[in-house]
Amino acid sequence: MKIAELHSWPNDHKAALQIQKDLSSEIITRAESSIKPRIVVGVDVSSVRGNTRLWAAVVAIHLPELKIVEEAFATIEAGYPYIPGLLSFREIPVLIEAMRNLTSKPDLVICDGQGIAHPRFFGLASHLGLWLNVPTIGCAKSLLVGEAAEPGIHAGDWQPLKYKNRTVGGILRTRKGCKPMYVSPGHMIDVDRSISLVQATNKGYRLPEPTRLAHLAVTRYRLSFSE
DNA sequence: GCGACAG
DNA sequence: ATCTTGTCGC
């Protein structure tokens, strides 16, 4: 068990890398259940250049209607800078705080970052999923690691994302003619199900609805502090 | 050593 | 991620 490390925070980069390596073995890369999720939560974090404060919004959506059932927020001082590959150590504390303010019980969380499509197979979505013990999907707007063929131009077209001889996710065209999304399992889910659930939560925009609404919500929340 | 690099 | 206007393509 590496659960102790799950709740201990790294003092330096080297410790952070080791924690990711150790915890990655705890990640389940298959579907925990075949039951369709009803409550899907989108999460997003916002900040301001030149300031260390972070704001977070979590938005619970009901499937398949894609309607908001609840929103929750939190803001704290960042305890960690942004370092590619170590994003979760920066964003998880404020996300945990926001999740504590949510009364709905999520069946699935969609994160704005990578899952196992990560140098040590332990991106933000994996870290958050392990911490919350909830199925999670990483749905990022750009690539961190891996290689894939260019997906077709139509919505729904996708290609497997490979990294170090493993299929770690897929590059998914969520909207015709738009830049694709980088989808990977976070925890307790597999690649195929991650792809299909991102599509099931898409409402015709590039971003899946939970993520899109969380982004709008966190921007609104952050701006409410400067007035 | 060099380039790449989620948010 | 943030800052920031108009502009091009489906």
Give, in Å, how far the C1' of B1 lies from the CA of A34: 49
Q: Which nucleotides of C are covered by protein (CB under 7 A)?
A: 1-3, 9-10
Alpha helices in chain A (DSSP H): 3-6, 13-23, 87-100, 124-132, 191-200, 209-223
Tell me whether residue A17 is in a domain. no
> Which nucleotide comes closest to A51 if you measure CA to C1'?
C2
Tell me whether residue A1 is in a domain. no
Cα(A64)–Cα(A162) distance, integer angstroms:
30
Residue-level pLDDT, tens digit, chain A, 227 residues: 567 778 889 989 999 999 999 999 999 998 766 678 999 999 999 999 989 999 999 999 999 999 999 999 999 999 999 999 999 999 999 999 999 999 999 999 999 999 999 999 999 999 999 999 999 999 999 999 999 999 999 999 999 999 999 999 999 999 999 999 999 999 999 999 999 999 999 999 999 999 999 999 999 999 999 86
- Domain containing residue A196: CATH number: 3.30.2170.10
Tell me whether residue A199 is in a domain. yes
Give, in Å, how far the C1' of C5 lies from the CA of A24: 44
Two structure tokens written together for A83: 């370092």
Tell me whether residue A62 is in a domain. yes
Tell me whether residue A130 is in a domain. yes
Asked whether residue A100, judged by its CB, lies under 7 Å from any atom of the DNA or RNA strand C, the reply is: no
- Tally the domains of chain A: 1
> Which nucleotide comes closest to A127 if you measure CA to C1'?
B6
Asked whether residue A118, judged by its CB, lies under 7 Å from any atom of the DNA or RNA strand B, the reply is: yes
Q: Which nucleotides of B are covered by protein (CB under 7 A)?
A: 5-7
Cα(A218)–Cα(A42) distance, integer angstroms:
11
For chain A, the first-to-last Cα distance in angstroms comes to: 47
Longest CA pairwise span in chain A (Å): 51
Asked whether residue A7, judged by its CB, lies under 7 Å from any atom of the DNA or RNA strand C, the reply is: no
A112 is in an annotated binding site: yes
According to DSSP, the residues that pair with A184 across neighbouring strands are A138
Judging by beta carbons within 10 Å of its beta carbon (0-12, 13-18, 19+), is residue A3 exposed, middle or buried?
exposed
Two structure tokens written together for A99: 């999740």
Give, in Å, how far the C1' of B7 lies from the CA of A136: 17
Two structure tokens written together for A160: 């497997």
Two structure tokens written together for A85: 């590959």
Asked whether residue A204, judged by its CB, lies under 7 Å from any atom of the DNA or RNA strand C, the reply is: no
- Domain containing residue A203: 33-226
Tell me whether residue A7 is in a domain. no
CA nearest neighbour of A95 among A83, A79, A107: A79
Tell me whether residue A70 is in a domain. yes
Tell me whether residue A168 is in a domain. yes
Tell me the DSSP string of A14-70: HHHHHHHHHHGGG---S-S--SPPSEEEEEEEEE-TT--EEEEEEEEEETTTTEEEE
